[in-house]
Amino acid sequence: VKILLINGPNLNMLGKREPHIYGSQTLNDIVDHLQQVAQQQGVQLTHMQSNAEHEIIDCIQQAMGEQDFILINPGAFTHTSVAIRDALAAVAIPFIEVHLSNIHARESFRQHSYLSDLAKGVICGLGAQGYEFALIAACKQLATQ
């Protein structure tokens, strides 16, 4: 079983970036922990982070036929990118949308996502733990299908 984790723009700044909103863990801390969880679950987890919309789209396209599930925190592209939505629809790989912060409790422009209605589920506001819950949910969904 193969699961792809995608982190969008500015998530490479985790730990230094508005820690009162996004927490003090770095992206490496988070991914290292997720790799341990993936190992325990017996799944192969691949991670990519990019600040560039086209790189995220290329990565989603390349996942077709290769990956069983996608976990994605699209960062600000959540609120802007019809193109990332179209890529996810095109490859038809089930995905969970993750946000560290509770986007519904913030500025109004963060309250709309171009992806949520296509997602299997959406987790927000639970910090880095949200990624872990998403990974476990993906493993359960793949095991019962």
Q: Does 5 bind ligand DQA (CB under 6 A)?
A: no
**Closest CB to ligand DQA among 10 and 116?**
10
Q: Does 10 bind ligand DQA (CB under 6 A)?
A: yes
Q: Does 76 bind ligand DQA (CB under 6 A)?
A: yes
Q: Is 22 a catalytic residue?
A: yes
Maximum Cα–Cα distance for the chain, whole Å? 40
If one counts every other C-beta atom within 10 angstroms of the C-beta of residue 67, the result is 21
Cα–Cα dist 129/19, whole Å: 15
CB neighbour list of residue 57: distance below 8 Å, 6 or more residues apart: 83, 84, 87
Among 2, 33, 110, 120, contact with ligand DQA (rule: CB under 6 A) = 110
Q: Does 101 bind ligand DQA (CB under 6 A)?
A: yes
CB neighbour list of residue 127: distance below 8 Å, 6 or more residues apart: 22, 23, 100
> Closest separation between CB of residue 103 and ligand DQA, Å?
5
3-state secondary structure of 85: helix
Was 104 annotated as part of a binding site? no
- Of 62-70, 81-89, 95-103, 136-144, which part binds ligand DQA (CB under 6 A)? 95-103
Q: Does 75 bind ligand DQA (CB under 6 A)?
A: yes
Q: Does 85 bind ligand DQA (CB under 6 A)?
A: no
Q: Does 127 bind ligand DQA (CB under 6 A)?
A: no
CB neighbour list of residue 124: distance below 8 Å, 6 or more residues apart: 97, 98, 99, 100, 101, 102, 103, 104, 130
Residues taking part in catalysis? 22, 99
